[in-house]
Structure 1
């Protein structure tokens, strides 16, 4: 199975890390821990090969005999194993890619080399390829959705193991050096063993902001410039050095951390203000560090080279600035013009940084020097240095770290990320209703129908003084809503115009929900009319997230586009409308098939509407980490978008555990960014040549499959008596709600056992923990079976769809991964947690039937003998985790029994710690949480 040399190397690394972990456990854990870990692992491995009820019972008794502290250590050992496997896999994948590059072979599908070569071979001219590049915006958005179980400290230690492991492979070490390197890895594993991986306290929003910043500092500042270099090399290699193609800077990053207040009462206006300043602080620190590096490097003497006239003029202007601030001339580097310039630039940046820090501390910044007016001025200075170096024949010096710093400045500005603000529509409606009610003789807004609301809102937005507002008389909720808009206005003025991305309105059911936000923005001076006409500095992104909302998307958006006030504001803000699509809630609401298909149709409707009105439209994909929440490989996901809907721009959420897997190591971040960008380039080909339209017969078949799928899903989830009781009792949902992994609550309403109350993330998280993974596959089997019946031709048609249509292929590929992660024999173990065991067993019986049906139908359509035959590396990766996942699930069942049945509060608390650790461990092992 693993004959490939790279597979052997990976297995050797895993064996090495496991052996070192064993050494640490032998020396530093409770006496029985290593023995228990090995016995459980070997016992459950035997059960995988052959069921033996007697052995299973014996293993469960062993688990039940352990005290909470020993169980906690056993779980920690399993968690550490998963972390080390992840490091080994990530490292070996990186090394394998480097080997392919070194060998000069054609690179993998999704690499820049393969992508650009394909365009060249297809006869795409340099002019057309340049035109496509000019349209690109690649925009991952980091969110703090509570699905990340790993602490930042742990990430940093794993990074050190990654680097030491890389040295073992890459460096020629003598025996002593080899011994030192192995000792280094052993030491880091020992540190991990003595570091608590579970947070003692629930994270504050500021902790989540810092965690988001960690990926920029540790990885992305290095990865982003390298990604551009790889793309430039691929262009030169395939189109020739003199082709004239210039790669613009098109990568941007967004964030919701500190801006997403929907369902998170801890995100206040001051939180958003702090987030913006923390972003600015980090990027200014990064620039200052790099300016110092450049100053050490660019030691050119004015006696030996002649800088450009434009550069010398700027140096004169800097002298005036320096004298004005310091009261004397700059005395250093009189004959080293670039060092002189960089010193002045550093001084300006430091002034910007000091101002930000003073404000973060709540102090006045009076008396501080001005610094740079904005990122554009800083970038202009960097380009002056670059152009001057080229001017006197030092283009190679201009193309190194200086060019990388230019890329960073173009990507991150002074704001680092575009912070999106998100709030639920009802909060805006409440605020607007209250504001209308406080005006003398004002209409009763709540009683209006949609048409009347739109008229009242448009009138108020256009009015020079819409409301008289006494903040002291408003309810705290409305006051906070107004203050959020005021913070947006204030921080735009303080840090820069690009500091905020979109204002996302969740649960958008009507056009008035968007216009209410525009009115609130009007009150903060963000939109309105001045002597030059309409102005608008806030862009709104309505979020459609339920099956019903997705069905009504065209009605809501056409009403908006037909509203003269909204259209005027849209034109004033750049004439681009962003629309956000919610994958999680629509999947929870109607099942994976209906959700996926409604999202597909919604995209086509919105793009067609926008095209018809002459409006540019960007779709924002609210993807989660798991398949049940829109997750899956980014490259394939972008290619699976409807034809002619990706017009050069893609924006999508990256959340929870996905951030660690994709961005914790710069080597992996480069790969992930490359795969996503190459997908965007391919999907945007419609910009330079007419696309091949989707086949109507395929669309009709998907229509039918989605209909059958929704009926099957709702039949189980909504119409099966006791189904939600089964979910609450036979998954560790109560533990998930207590796990300190996010700052937001797990439920919208406490003690409400309804589908509407539970959030999409714990819904998917819970099913994953119990190894059911239901949201990612349930209903696909019934839908395919009902469509094809016993008709061989219909099966052949589905097989063609799988081979030819990227959308359908991605859907079923992701289904295979979710089916592989599901384990019905383990889900059965959780039945002992049910109050009505007979009823729960019947429900699981229905799930098992559908699992088997889906398995058979998906394999038939894909033409495979076993799940994931087309992705053997991923299959091996998931399979090797089962050695430790199986015992963990059985431990979790035992812990849930203990925790729920224990009446003594103090003893109950003792069982909670290992229970939370088991949730953490399983999510690490499955490489998924929510």
Structure 2
């Protein structure tokens, strides 16, 4: 059936036509939007009727091209929205949600092609290499006369860790992601078939005729969208931790397994072009970690057995990838020994293999009698499969019963004891080929993958809150009557003294049979499980223990003591197989970080411990809680200062400091472009090593497509090298630091006056944002609150805090307090504006901070936010809440004015046309969805107060489902959750 023709929304065309500074022609983007809109509409006409499509277009047309809600009261919008039945509201919400996600697909492909086109232009000499790429970086280092030996030294120790976290803020179901990926593939093929169809002269009111192949593919896309329409967007049950692991590991399976060899090839070629005599970095300069299945801070679902199963799951996945790769090599390496020489080492290994694995020889010897490489690969395949089967058994029985599976003996050659044995066999094949003058790129790629992923795929980081360890030690010492005074009643100095002595004793503290309370037993078993993990998988699987809410030296020593009891720390030698990482999260903790670390470094026992860890200390800095505590500017400044002080301290003690940045996906939790964020760090704080969290909500945008994943990884690596070798001059200018100190202090004061000191703010937040409805979303195994039942801000996690403000379009955590702080500074002296503009131009930290504020201001919509207040505030609190809203709105408009003055822009995001287009493209359709959400939440919350009327029309389940679907839709449109 041919699709009905509808005209594209004028607002979308206006938005796209505004852009003139794009690398690809705008006609291509306009054409794709045209196609996807028509496909979207044709499906909805068939499924819902022409009337619903007209309604959706009517709602969208009521919004301005800039994507802001009309001035309140928007009677025409309200009249339409309030007339919708629940069924119509749900249909509209689902339709807009699918629309946003289709636009996301188009935009992501467009970004990918911009990057590819830029590469082509550079090769042709038609454009300069862009910042954030290897081919820009190394010529720039040469231009700035950076000594090659400095570059080589940094490259040799380059260590980048990207950690996928256990905060699953990605709201889209795995099932929907699969459909999106399929549609993306078909859209790319359709674009190829229609190449040349679009031009700047096209009349977008009419579609040009398509070839029969293109028309057939277009109908397939419509069918896929139709199946999507009949798929529930909401999870039907709360995901388990293993479900979350499956979702996260999906990106390794689909993209990252293949991305790392390409990343290495990029850096190797770029370095050779400029510095041919320098050696490239080690293959595994970029590795991955994960908190999924190992982060137990506030997540009661993460038990020791879950962490064990997660590790087995990771090993099973990567071995399956290796099996697939080796099967590909079997097909490829059809080399005959009649035509080339085979190395003696390889022939010797084949003889040994025949002895150890005669069943493989009997099956393949005749078939591959003249093809020794294929025969060798069959032995390798058999060992991989046996290793996989053993792993499946360990996964099935769990960590406590793992001893039932016999450890691998040195004489057992039918299974790999570790990835190193597998790598050795692959290198044996590669060396034999090399001796004959042959090279197999697929084999070299596999060797690189083994170096990076081993048999563990990603390093698991254990994380637990400090008070849990203290509580466990209190119960242990009380139960065993070891201390005269209960441990938790000791002073900090008394705790440190006792812990230091206990860490040097050779006798055990904890008995083998546990008889403590459930949670203390679980803490102890976590360390015992970790020891067994390292024994089975090697230390690489899990060697980091992060202590959240670190506030003292004893917090660190407690973990070291618990590690000692599990055999992870040897008091006789001072050696250990686990690194203890304090996490400083609140402003007070960040300010006290230097003092705590200095006291630790002064402890001979702890220094000896670091000496056995290559003098390396990892410290994690948290963005989320510090932001919730003190506001955006104050949080970012305290983290900046903490890095400066910690790096200076580490240099004094001769310690190599690695900062672990606990960044969220949204700006309110430290998110934003990673490259700019790295350059915004104090130059001396990055010395070739960095560790960064990658939150669940950004995984799809960063790692769904290979080219985009490579671009992201390249910008991270470039940023780390650049920040280390070309540090910002601002670090030496004390007056700059004092100015920011004053601004941050005032910003924090303004933020806390509203958030923490206003007695009405908590109720305002709970009643005019969808926080209560968000808690019903089945998107996380982790509770929304640290303490069940409490509605105070301290117990609320940062993710739902930011998520709720984003849904209601306030985005308050990302900008509140910035405007007043800078405005008051400017009012003191008019020339201060020139100073702020100078900072913006010359200081990466300040520029990045202001740019993030600008972006979130552009995504905010105080008109629709006002509507949430009007509709959702209880009648008795209308006046009070409107006063609060006006206070927020005044700060918003003040901040907008200040940001535009500093940046010199006429409109927000004028300096980033692509981002400006992206924000505006979505905002116009998010506005009507916001009105629908407010209406549904209002009905839902009135349900209990008006049982006769509302219960006769709708069930609570139906109302809640409608509200949750709007949350899903707005999250897709904003490309942000928490």
TM bucket, shorter chain: over 0.9
Q: Is the CA contact 1:143–1:656 (under 8 Å) kept in the aligned structure 2?
A: yes
2:713 pairs with 1:673 = yes
Candidates 73, 86, 93, aligned match of 2:104: 86
Candidates 517, 522, 529, aligned match of 2:564: 522
Which segment drifts farther, 287-296 or 573-582?
573-582
Q: Post-superposition shift, 1:263?
A: 0.8
> Equivalents in 1 of 2:844, 2:66: separation in Å?
38
Instruction: Please name the residue that 1:880 is paired with.
Output: 921
Instruction: Please name the residue that 2:115 is paired with.
Output: 97
2:290 pairs with 1:255 = yes
> Equivalents in 2 of 1:372, 1:407: separation in Å?
18
2:200 pairs with 1:183 = no
2:346 pairs with 1:307 = no
Q: Is the CA contact 1:140–1:254 (under 8 Å) kept in the aligned structure 2?
A: yes
Instruction: Please name the residue that 1:726 is paired with.
Output: 764
Are the structure 2 counterparts of residues 37 and 374 from structure 1 closer, same or farther at C-alpha, using a change threshold of 3 Å? same
> Equivalents in 1 of 2:325, 2:66: separation in Å?
56
Instruction: Please name the residue that 1:496 is paired with.
Output: 538
2:773 pairs with 1:735 = yes
> Equivalents in 2 of 1:49, 1:212: separation in Å?
35
Instruction: Please name the residue that 1:320 is paired with.
Output: 355
> Equivalents in 2 of 1:877, 1:89: separation in Å?
8
Which segment drifts farther, 497-506 or 65-74?
65-74
Listed as ranges, the gaps of 5+ residues in structure 2 are: 1-17, 196-209
> Equivalents in 1 of 2:279, 2:814: separation in Å?
46
2:182 pairs with 1:160 = yes
Secondary structure (helix, strand or coil) at the match of 1:44 reads coil
Are the structure 2 counterparts of residues 924 and 501 from structure 1 closer, same or farther at C-alpha, using a change threshold of 3 Å? farther
Candidates 240, 250, 259, aligned match of 1:204: 240
Q: Is the CA contact 2:364–2:375 (under 8 Å) kept in the aligned structure 1?
A: no
Instruction: Please name the residue that 2:205 is paired with.
Output: none
Instruction: Please name the residue that 1:847 is paired with.
Output: 888
2:19 pairs with 1:2 = yes
Describe how 1:683-694 pairs up with structure 2 within 5 A.
Answer: 683-685=723-725, 693-694=731-732
Are the structure 2 counterparts of residues 327 and 522 from structure 1 closer, same or farther at C-alpha, using a change threshold of 3 Å? farther
Q: Post-superposition shift, 1:473?
A: 2.2
Which segment drifts farther, 873-882 or 903-912?
903-912
Instruction: Please name the residue that 1:474 is paired with.
Output: 516
Instruction: Please name the residue that 1:344 is paired with.
Output: 379
CA RMSD of aligned residues (A): 2.2
Instruction: Please name the residue that 1:17 is paired with.
Output: 36
> Equivalents in 1 of 2:514, 2:433: separation in Å?
59
Q: What's the TM-score once normalised by structure 2's chain length?
A: 0.91
Describe how 1:300-699 pairs up with structure 2 within 5 A.
Answer: 300-323=335-358, 331-362=366-397, 365=405, 370-395=414-439, 397=440, 400-443=441-484, 444-469=486-511, 471-530=513-572, 533-685=573-725, 693-699=731-737
Q: Is the CA contact 1:126–1:244 (under 8 Å) kept in the aligned structure 2?
A: no
Listed as ranges, the gaps of 5+ residues in structure 1 are: none
Q: Post-superposition shift, 1:353?
A: 0.5
Q: Post-superposition shift, 1:634?
A: 0.4
2:163 pairs with 1:141 = yes
Secondary structure (helix, strand or coil) at the match of 1:252 reads strand
Which segment drifts farther, 128-137 or 575-584?
128-137
Are the structure 2 counterparts of residues 48 and 553 from structure 1 closer, same or farther at C-alpha, using a change threshold of 3 Å? closer
Q: Is the CA contact 1:144–1:656 (under 8 Å) kept in the aligned structure 2?
A: yes
Secondary structure (helix, strand or coil) at the match of 2:464 reads strand
Instruction: Please name the residue that 1:292 is paired with.
Output: 327
2:971 pairs with 1:915 = no
> Equivalents in 2 of 1:76, 1:129: separation in Å?
52
> Equivalents in 1 of 2:922, 2:101: separation in Å?
11
Q: Post-superposition shift, 1:156?
A: 1.4
> Equivalents in 1 of 2:677, 2:168: separation in Å?
23
> Equivalents in 2 of 1:52, 1:415: separation in Å?
55
Q: Post-superposition shift, 1:918?
A: 0.7
Q: Post-superposition shift, 1:58?
A: 3.2
Instruction: Please name the residue that 2:273 is paired with.
Output: 237
Which segment drifts farther, 6-15 or 291-300?
6-15
Are the structure 2 counterparts of residues 460 and 305 from structure 1 closer, same or farther at C-alpha, using a change threshold of 3 Å? same
Q: Is the CA contact 1:625–1:656 (under 8 Å) kept in the aligned structure 2?
A: yes
Instruction: Please name the residue that 2:198 is paired with.
Output: none
Q: Post-superposition shift, 1:332?
A: 4.5
Q: Is the CA contact 1:319–1:330 (under 8 Å) kept in the aligned structure 2?
A: no
Are the structure 2 counterparts of residues 367 and 458 from structure 1 closer, same or farther at C-alpha, using a change threshold of 3 Å? closer
2:792 pairs with 1:750 = no
Candidates 138, 142, 147, aligned match of 1:120: 142
Describe how 1:793-804 pairs up with structure 2 within 5 A.
Answer: 793-804=831-842
Q: Deviations over 1:512-538 (max 9, x none)?
A: 0111111111111111235xx222011
Are the structure 2 counterparts of residues 920 and 51 from structure 1 closer, same or farther at C-alpha, using a change threshold of 3 Å? closer
Secondary structure (helix, strand or coil) at the match of 1:503 reads strand
Are the structure 2 counterparts of residues 441 and 424 from structure 1 closer, same or farther at C-alpha, using a change threshold of 3 Å? closer
Secondary structure (helix, strand or coil) at the match of 1:801 reads helix
> Equivalents in 1 of 2:327, 2:976: separation in Å?
41
Which segment drifts farther, 60-69 or 366-375?
366-375
> Equivalents in 2 of 1:752, 1:554: separation in Å?
33
Q: Is the CA contact 1:203–1:741 (under 8 Å) kept in the aligned structure 2?
A: yes
Are the structure 2 counterparts of residues 621 and 300 from structure 1 closer, same or farther at C-alpha, using a change threshold of 3 Å? same
Instruction: Please name the residue that 2:7 is paired with.
Output: none
Q: Is the CA contact 1:708–1:786 (under 8 Å) kept in the aligned structure 2?
A: no
Which segment drifts farther, 474-483 or 519-528?
519-528
Instruction: Please name the residue that 1:822 is paired with.
Output: 860
> Equivalents in 1 of 2:72, 2:624: separation in Å?
38
Secondary structure (helix, strand or coil) at the match of 1:644 reads helix
Q: Post-superposition shift, 1:437?
A: 1.2
Secondary structure (helix, strand or coil) at the match of 1:224 reads helix
Instruction: Please name the residue that 1:228 is paired with.
Output: 264
Are the structure 2 counterparts of residues 332 and 749 from structure 1 closer, same or farther at C-alpha, using a change threshold of 3 Å? same
Are the structure 2 counterparts of residues 441 and 631 from structure 1 closer, same or farther at C-alpha, using a change threshold of 3 Å? closer
Q: What's the TM-score once normalised by structure 1's chain length?
A: 0.95
Are the structure 2 counterparts of residues 468 and 224 from structure 1 closer, same or farther at C-alpha, using a change threshold of 3 Å? closer
Q: Is the CA contact 1:142–1:256 (under 8 Å) kept in the aligned structure 2?
A: yes
> Equivalents in 2 of 1:20, 1:802: separation in Å?
44
> Equivalents in 1 of 2:133, 2:976: separation in Å?
25
Candidates 916, 928, 940, aligned match of 1:899: 940
Are the structure 2 counterparts of residues 170 and 116 from structure 1 closer, same or farther at C-alpha, using a change threshold of 3 Å? farther
Q: Is the CA contact 2:665–2:696 (under 8 Å) kept in the aligned structure 1?
A: yes
Describe how 1:775-814 pairs up with structure 2 within 5 A.
Answer: 775-814=813-852
Which segment drifts farther, 265-274 or 36-45?
36-45
Q: Deviations over 1:553-588 (max 9, x none)?
A: 111111111122222222223321110101000000
Q: Post-superposition shift, 1:874?
A: 0.4
> Equivalents in 2 of 1:503, 1:232: separation in Å?
33
Are the structure 2 counterparts of residues 446 and 41 from structure 1 closer, same or farther at C-alpha, using a change threshold of 3 Å? same
Candidates 863, 873, 892, aligned match of 1:834: 873
Secondary structure (helix, strand or coil) at the match of 1:95 reads helix
Candidates 81, 89, 92, aligned match of 1:63: 81
Q: Post-superposition shift, 1:167?
A: 1.9
Which segment drifts farther, 170-179 or 381-390?
170-179
Q: Deviations over 1:838-890 (max 9, x none)?
A: 11111111111111111111111122221111101001000010121000111
Secondary structure (helix, strand or coil) at the match of 1:260 reads coil
Q: Which has the higher contact order (CA 8 A, sep 6+)?
A: 2
Secondary structure (helix, strand or coil) at the match of 2:445 reads helix
> Equivalents in 1 of 2:238, 2:388: separation in Å?
30
Number of residues of Structure 1 aligned to a counterpart in Structure 2: 921
Are the structure 2 counterparts of residues 502 and 30 from structure 1 closer, same or farther at C-alpha, using a change threshold of 3 Å? farther
> Equivalents in 2 of 1:585, 1:703: separation in Å?
19
